[in-house]
Homo-oligomer: A and B are copies of this chain.
Amino acid sequence: MSILTKTNVNTKAYQNVLEKIKDYIQIDQLKPGDKLSSEREMAEELNLSRSTIREGLRAIELLGLIETRRGEGTFLRPYQSYQTLSLLAGFIFQDRETKDNVDDTLVMIEDVIIELGRTRGEDYIQSKWSGHGYGYWKKRGYKATFEVILSVIDNQLLEKIWYLLYAFYLSIEDKQHIRTVKDLFQSFHVQTTIET
Contacts and interface: CB of A to CB of B under 8 A. Distances in A.
Given A101-B157, A108-B158, A1 B171 contact: yes
A28 to B, nearest CB: 14
Interface in A95-148: 95, 97-98, 100-102, 104-105, 108-109, 111-112, 116
A63 interface: yes
Chain multiplicity (copies):
2
A61 B20 CA distance: 18
Contacts of A14: 58
List the 10 closest pairs (A to B, CB-CB), nearest first: A59-B62, A101-B157, A55-B58, A98-B156, A63-B91, A105-B157, A101-B155, A2-B171, A97-B156, A59-B59
